[in-house]
Structure 1
Amino acid sequence: MALTTLIIDDEPLARQELHYLLDALGGVEVLAEGTNGIDAVELIRHHKPDVVFLDVQMPGLDGFAVLKKLLDKKIPLPQIVFATAYDRYAVRAFEVNAADYLLKPFDRKRVRQTIEKASARMAAPAESTSEAKLDALLRLVEEQAQPAKANSGKVVVRAQSRLLLVDQHEICFASIEDGAIHVITATVEGQSNCRTLEELTEQLNPETFWRAHRSYVVNLQHIREVVPWFNSSYQLRMDDRKQTEIPVSRSQTKRLRELFNL
């Protein structure tokens, strides 16, 4: 009987490469592919696969947050194999009881070893699934998911497969779209590993950054112009390269007037 798997990765080429290698092994059936952590939770719930190849860094929910969501929803955990371009995640992967981890670009021999390891774990006597054990695992995942401290002064931005450390004062604004957190500076446009704007905001200086809209956090120092809009509303024209115009929600209009004595 074939080992059933899912591939969850936001990079199409990575999904294609891993799918090809698994097909070449034989005895492995790829049931479906997903592009983000939200997909992962739903596909795992629906397909109940034996093994899930899960990218660590994805928009919306990262790989570790997917585990937390599965536990929160009491969805049975399959064998998890984390896929990442960065080997520093290996220790974290094993701390949350993953079957294995794979480094990108994938290696045929290493993929075979991973499948053999996952199969052996499945054939071994079932370990205790007591509430205490699940609680311990959940605590580990929550610890891994904690955001960086605000006093670091730096924010990690992923841009073109690079992880850049950006000074907070350089950030013009951040926004959320389709579950992904986008960070914009004068020279860089990329994505944050944070799952929500709230999580990102916790890393930022509250005296400088303002949640002008449910989908936007702006740096007050990078507002070029306050633009009156219809029905007594406003937009903010930022000083990024595109001079992006950001709406101010009605609930934040009073705060805007206080900030700039309008």
Structure 2
Amino acid sequence: MKAIIVEDSRLARNELRELLKPHKHINLIAEAQNCEEAISLISEEQPDLVFLDINLPDGNGFDILEKLDLTPQIIFTTAYDEYAIQAFEVNALDYLLKPINPQKLKRALDKTLRETPPTPSSDSISYLDSNNKIFIKDGERCWLIEIGKIRYFENCGNHAQVFFDDSKPFIYKSLAKIEQRLNPEIFFRVNRQQIINLNFIKDIESWINSGLLITMTDGKEIEVARRPATRLREMLSL
């Protein structure tokens, strides 16, 4: 399992590196000292696991997660327990207070063996798998949500609104950029304003001008124009 440490303290990095030595399934491939380095390394190396300090010289760990297209498994490591509730709201694997207790580290690493997500495709176009997670931060609230649990995205100018469970936060990426990473066998661009998860369709009926009217599982009605409706009929053998 490829791992990266994000920590501004050299002493803390050294201590964590030593604590990880007995855990042979952890392959420590890189270390970062700040947000800028971390974003670059995580994007390039695509690690399975990140040990993430929260307070960093140029921001915090949540700033890093917000800028990633694909979020790896996260174990927070910090001296400040005020962030504990926020960390667990984003479903981090664990939250370890410094100095790190070896037994608590072992328990956190045991979770990684149970929750390792599928490795992204190595094809030229790497779509996000349904089990892959993305990090969303809207105001003070944070989520780490599986792609497959998102019902639909709606366009809001240069950002988008994401609908899942009982939440509908905003993500500061355009719908076009989001669409590039979504698996077209699962997500479908029904019009300029919306991308839907085909698994959350409740009902489809014919609509005006050879279009379709889709009802989602949450009751949302979405109109599909003629051209995308033709493609959708072919996909779903309607």
- Normalising by the residue count of structure 2, what TM-score does the alignment of the two structures yield? 0.51
Q: Which among 90, 109, 122 is matched to residue 96 of structure 1?
A: 90
Match of residue 67 from structure 1 = 65
Match of residue 34 from structure 2 = 36
1:53 deviates by 0.3
Q: Is 2:87 the partner of 1:87?
A: no
Indicate the SS of the match to 1:31. Answer: strand
Match of residue 114 from structure 1 = 108
Question: 2:102 is matched by which residue type in structure 1?
Answer: R
Match of residue 24 from structure 2 = 26
Identical residues among aligned pairs (%)? 40
Contact 2:117 2:131 in 1 (8 A): no
Match of residue 2 from structure 2 = 4
CA–CA distance in 1 between the matches of 2:108 and 2:129?
A: 20
Contact 1:23 1:29 in 2 (8 A): no
Q: Equivalences for 1:1-262 in 2 at 5 Å?
A: 3-70=1-68, 74=69, 76-122=70-116, 128=130, 134=134, 137-140=135-138, 142-143=139-140
1:118 deviates by 1.9
CA–CA distance in 2 between the matches of 1:62 and 1:103?
A: 16
CA–CA distance in 2 between the matches of 1:67 and 1:97?
A: 12
1:94 deviates by 1.2
CA–CA distance in 2 between the matches of 1:139 and 1:49?
A: 21
Question: 1:100 is matched by which residue type in structure 2?
Answer: D
Deviations 1:114-137 (A, max 9, x none): 11112211169x98469xx85xx4
Contact 1:64 1:144 in 2 (8 A): no
Count of aligned pairs: 133
Indicate the SS of the match to 2:39. Answer: helix
CA–CA distance in 1 between the matches of 2:140 and 2:81?
A: 19
Question: 1:22 is matched by which residue type in structure 2?
Answer: L
CA–CA distance in 2 between the matches of 1:110 and 1:143?
A: 28
Indicate the SS of the match to 2:56. Answer: coil
Contact 1:38 1:61 in 2 (8 A): no
1:25 deviates by 2.1
Deviations 1:50-109 (A, max 9, x none): 100010000112101111111xxx2x1110111111222111111122111111001111
Query: What are structure 1's unaligned runs of at least 5 residues?
Result: 146-262
Q: 1:113 to 1:66 in 2, by over 3 A?
A: same
Contact 1:84 1:103 in 2 (8 A): yes
Question: 1:143 is matched by which residue type in structure 2?
Answer: E
CA–CA distance in 2 between the matches of 1:51 and 1:123?
A: 10
User: Cα RMSD between the aligned structures?
Assistant: 2.4
Bigger share in helix: 1
Query: What are structure 2's unaligned runs of at least 5 residues?
Result: 119-127, 143-238
Contact 1:86 1:103 in 2 (8 A): yes
- In our comparison, the structure showing a higher alpha carbon Rg is 1
Contact 1:56 1:82 in 2 (8 A): yes
